[in-house]
Structure 1
Amino acid sequence: MTDREFDLIDELYFVQHYTYLKEVLGWEDEILLSTLQSLFEKEYIKCLKEPDLEIFTKIDLMASGKELYFLATKKGLMNHHAL
């Protein structure tokens, strides 16, 4: 897990919208979206259309990530705590 992935998972113990993550972390869109994509591919985060509506299909976060919510998965949290 990279430092950025670690910092991002720190913010995803609860469901958070993209705009919250952007504001709190202060990262450029490209960095935030690519880090979210990396975590999603590792199954460390879930993507949600609404706070309680998970997306189960493949998703291109670079294209639609700004409209979504995110939450760390059990796998993501276990790897986060292992460091």
Structure 2
Amino acid sequence: MEDNYEKYAIAVIIVFGAVIVGGLMGATIGFGNRTGFLFALGSATAGWIAGHAMLFDRPRIYGVLIAVATLMAIASTLALVS
């Protein structure tokens, strides 16, 4: 395994912040769902901070933040479809 954490940290920031959660935020804004938008914003923030936790070599914090980001993205999706 490669020991270069910067590449993986940047990948996490891009994937969570821009692609996945950005689309979810756009969908919730389009449908006027404030709760879903706030969950998506929280998910993006947790994912963004998780990238920095990986950059600073904090694997437990990284794991917790990724779990929080995933749960908030799921909550945002459920708020959008309900």
Q: Give TM-score scaled by structure 2 length.
A: 0.25
Q: TM-score by structure 1 length?
A: 0.25
Give 1 or 2: higher helix fraction.
Answer: 2
Compare the two structures and name the one with the higher strand fraction.
1
